[in-house]
Amino acid sequence: MSIPRLAIHRPVTMFMLSGVIVLLGTISLLRLPVDLMPDVSFPSITVRVGYAGVGPLEMEELVTRPIEQAMSAVAGLERLESTSQEGSSRVTLNFAWGTDLNEAADDVRNRLDRVRGRLPEEAEAPVMFKFDANAQPTSTAWRCARLPSTIFLLASNVCPVSRQ
């Protein structure tokens, strides 16, 4: 027997089946956790080193390369990116999903301690950052008008103010 024919000949059964589906959907919807900013930890660590008055080429040779060489053997590392600018070096380590970031951070910290002796003495101590999605702003407002009343009007369109 086909489904449409079954639905026509047994309307009570179809009504009960529809009711069960709606009930299970409602229960599932109520149990579904919803967060504005869910707890997501990207497996990423950034190492920054400052060295005032040094150009990008010297920064790469004196600071970035030794750190890259030391970090390239960290367990679980998928991608290593580095940027050398005047007076600043940044090395970003991206790890595979599922990697314990605390263990990776300990390994990175140990390797930074070992490579510290190969860095110039005038360079700042390496600083390590874990990426935290909750530290990022949820929205950013830019000033695009000259008059404060226009800014208020734009902001009230984006975030309505309840007046009581």
pLDDT of residue 27: 95
Instruction: State the DSSP H helix or E strand holding residue 48, giving kind and residue range, or none if neither.
Output: strand 44-50
* CATH code reported for the domain at 44-131: 3.30.70.1430
Q: In what order do the strands lie in the sheet with 88-95?
A: 77-85, 88-95, 44-50, 127-130
What are the backbone angles phi and psi of residue 72, rounded to the nearest 5°?
-65, -15
Q: Report the Cα 55 to chain-centroid distance in Å.
A: 30
CB atoms within 10 A of CB 82: 17
Kindly report the average pLDDT of the chain as a whole number.
Answer: 82
Summarize pLDDT for 32-48 with one digit per residue, the tens.
887 776 666 678 999 99
**What share of the chain in percent tops pLDDT 90?**
40
Longest dimension (CA), the chain: 87
Tokens of 157: 């369109």
Calpha distance 59→106 (Å, rounded):
25
pLDDT at 141 > cutoff 70: no
pLDDT of residue 37: 63
Listed ranges 19-23, 57-61, 113-117; the one with the highest mean pLDDT: 19-23
pLDDT at 164 > cutoff 50: no
Exposure string of 41-63, with b = 16+ CB inside 10 Å and e = fewer, is eebbbbbbbebeebeeeebbebb
- Give pTM, 2 decimals: 0.61
Residues ≥6 apart with Cβ < 8 Å to 73 = 111
pLDDT of residue 155: 62
Summarize pLDDT for 78-132 with one digit per residue, the tens.
999 999 999 899 999 998 888 888 899 999 999 999 998 888 888 898 999 887 6
Please say whether the beta carbons of 120 and 62 come within 8 A: yes
Query: Three-state SS for 140?
Result: coil
pLDDT of residue 137: 61
């999605």: which residue's tokens?
Answer: 133
